[in-house]
Amino acid sequence: MSIMISFVPLWETMKEKNVSQYKLLKSGIDNKTLDALKKNKNITLLTLEKLCRILDCTPNDIVEFTEE
C-alpha cells in the first residue's frame, strides 16, 4: 500500500474562490509548478504556503493524501 498525494482539493478551492491558473502565475507560481500540481507531483512547503496565501486557505484545501 502506498500513499499518493492529490491536488484535487486545490482545483475545487480555486473554482469556489474564482481564482484562475493565470492568477496563480501572476502571483508567483511558475509554469513548472503548475504542471507538477496537474500531475499530482511533489511540491515544496514554500509553494504550499504561497498557494495558501494566494487562496486564503489551509493546506487541507489544497492537498489530500490517498492510499492506493
pLDDT by residue (tens digit) across 19-51? 999 999 999 999 999 999 999 999 999 999 999
Hey, what's the cell of 49? 504556503
Q: What is the pLDDT of residue 40?
A: 95
**Mean pLDDT along residues 56-62:** 98
Domain CATH number, residue 47? 1.10.260.40
Rounded mean pLDDT, 49-61: 98
Nearest to 5 by CA among 42, 33, 36, 38: 42
The arithmetic mean of pLDDT across residues 1-14, rounded, is 94
pLDDT confidence tier of residue 55, bands split at 50, 70 and 90? very high
Domain count, the chain: 1
C-alpha–C-alpha distance, residues 65 and 20, integer Å: 24
Q: What is the largest CA-CA distance in the chain?
A: 38
Identify residue 1 by its one-letter amino acid code: M
Range of the domain at 59: 3-67
Instruction: Give the global pTM.
Output: 0.91
